[in-house]
Amino acid sequence: MDLDLNDQQRMLRDATRQFAEQRLLPQAKAAEEAGAMAPELRRELAAMGYCGIGTPERYGGSGLDAVSYALMVSELSYGDASVGVTVSVTNSLVQDPILMFGTEEQKRRYIPPLARGDVWGGFALTEPAAGTDAGGTRTTAVADGDHYVVNGAKSFVTNGGFADTFVVFVRGDREVKHGGISAFIVERDTPGFAIGKHEDKLGIRASSTTELVFEDCRLPRANLLGEWGQGFKVAMKTLDSGRIGIAAQAHGIAQRALDLAVKYAKERQQFERPLSTFQHIQFRLADMATDVEATRLLLLQAAFAKDVVTRNPGARYSQAAAMAKLFASEAAHRVVHQALQIHGGYGYIKEFEIERLYRDQRITEIYEGTSEAMRMVIAASLLK
């Protein structure tokens, strides 16, 4: 792996950091209080090309590599973790599976509007009774002529409040566990499909999280994504890519928390000297910086591994992605905890940004596979 970023990657990282500092940080508090991202910010993100960063140019994207994608999500999350996940989902959880498993017709129809950010995407795997055990999907699809009739509900769908294109996983065969699942592309205005409850959350409050409800919803056969019964494979391959986005989100949050802690430690005086002059505080900062740097390296390695796979589709990068997500999210947990501690009582007060980062970080250990699920993936590849 080449540890040096190329000029294009460096430019994207620096431009995104500037955007994060000038545009995202100033709005993050108001957006989380409103519980939603402003539609004009979504339009800006689209205009800046963030919605189709890795999508091939022939489908309207920028055609950049996975390292660029990771840098972008990390820097967006530095400014606002809600923005990081919103952009990550429409790129990696929606366009990636359509690009990997879709027909040429599906790619031409659905990818360009997503890549341009004219519409946004959502990914619906989780259900009330099927979380870590995604093979337990209960939403059903029954063939009826040229259609499938879908009934059931999906939970916790990021971007559900405004997305137009969803990748949804359903069960066709009750007898077969993983092999009974299929993936579909679902358009928002399909009759029988509705957006359910909007979730009220601990963190990433400006990101949208909703239920999806299917009641005798008729999906055309043409919307089957991949082969019938191939849905579990579609989901797992998609999540390999998605986990790089969550590792990047955790990295951005941790880097921001570290920067805030360094600044605060230099400014805050106790015992007539800055906190930063106490060796205990210095050692904390050193541990935090080491966690952030180790995260960056694992993240880049996973993104690099994805780029190798893109050139050589036989290879896999599940283990690298799971290690990056596991380490990044747990390291970010340690870093935000210590950063808040360095802020003392002020860290507990909403006026201080670290309070939001402390809450925003927590989800990185849960979605797109919990830390326990990451350990299962890593152990499975060790023991195979």
Say whether residue 103 binds ligand FAD (CB under 6 A).
no
| 309-348 binders of ligand FAD (CB under 6 A) | none
Smaller CB separation from ligand FAD, 258 or 324: 324
Compute the distance between CA of residue 293 and CA of residue 30 in angstroms, rounded to an integer.
Answer: 30
Compute the distance between CA of residue 244 and CA of residue 305 in angstroms, rounded to an integer.
Answer: 10
Q: Interacting stretch for ligand FAD, rule CB under 6 A, among 9-17, 25-33, 108-116, 125-133?
A: 125-133
Smaller CB separation from ligand FAD, 77 or 301: 77
CB of 373 to ligand FAD, least distance (A): 6
C-alpha distances (whole Å) from 146 to each of 190, 203, 224 are 15, 42, 11
Say whether residue 361 binds ligand FAD (CB under 6 A).
no
336 burial type by CB count under 10 A (0-12 exposed, 13-18 middle, 19+ buried): buried
CB of 372 to ligand FAD, least distance (A): 3
Compute the distance between CA of residue 164 and CA of residue 189 in angstroms, rounded to an integer.
Answer: 8
User: What phi and psi values does residue 219 have, to the nearest 5 degrees?
Assistant: -105, 130
Say whether residue 126 binds ligand FAD (CB under 6 A).
yes
Say whether residue 135 binds ligand FAD (CB under 6 A).
no
Count CA within 13 A, CB hemisphere, residue 245.
28
Smaller CB separation from ligand FAD, 68 or 249: 249
Using the 8-state DSSP alphabet, how is residue 112 labeled?
A: H
Smaller CB separation from ligand FAD, 154 or 343: 154
Nearest partner of 80 among 228, 205, 224, judged by Cα: 205
Say whether residue 367 binds ligand FAD (CB under 6 A).
yes
Provide the strand spans (E) within 131-208.
140-144, 147-158, 165-171, 181-187, 193-198
Kindly report the CA angle at 261 between 69 and 206, in degrees rounded to 5? Answer: 50
Smaller CB separation from ligand FAD, 13 or 97: 97
* Residues in a beta bridge with 187: 165
Say whether residue 237 binds ligand FAD (CB under 6 A).
no
Say whether residue 124 binds ligand FAD (CB under 6 A).
yes
Q: Contact, 342 vs 275, CB < 8 A?
A: yes
- Kindly tell me which residue out of 37, 51, 115, 125 binds ligand FAD, with binding defined by CB under 6 A: 125
328 burial type by CB count under 10 A (0-12 exposed, 13-18 middle, 19+ buried): buried
- Kindly tell me which residue out of 113, 131, 135, 196 binds ligand FAD, with binding defined by CB under 6 A: 131
Q: Contact, 41 vs 80, CB < 8 A?
A: no
- Kindly tell me which residue out of 158, 241, 249, 318 binds ligand FAD, with binding defined by CB under 6 A: 158
- Kindly tell me which residue out of 27, 276, 370, 381 binds ligand FAD, with binding defined by CB under 6 A: 370
- Kindly tell me which residue out of 201, 256, 284, 356 binds ligand FAD, with binding defined by CB under 6 A: 201
Q: Contact, 69 vs 63, CB < 8 A?
A: no
- Kindly tell me which residue out of 363, 364, 374, 377 binds ligand FAD, with binding defined by CB under 6 A: 363
Q: Interacting stretch for ligand FAD, rule CB under 6 A, among 21-29, 122-130, 263-271, 284-292?
A: 122-130
Smaller CB separation from ligand FAD, 49 or 131: 131
Nearest partner of 242 among 363, 69, 55, 110, judged by Cα: 69
Number of amino acids touching ligand FAD (CB under 6 A): 20
Active site residue 368: yes
Say whether residue 35 binds ligand FAD (CB under 6 A).
no
Smaller CB separation from ligand FAD, 268 or 359: 359
* Residues in a beta bridge with 171: 140, 181
| Contact set with ligand FAD (CB under 6 A) | 89, 123-126, 131-132, 156-158, 201, 209, 363, 366-370, 372-373
Cite the active site residues: 368
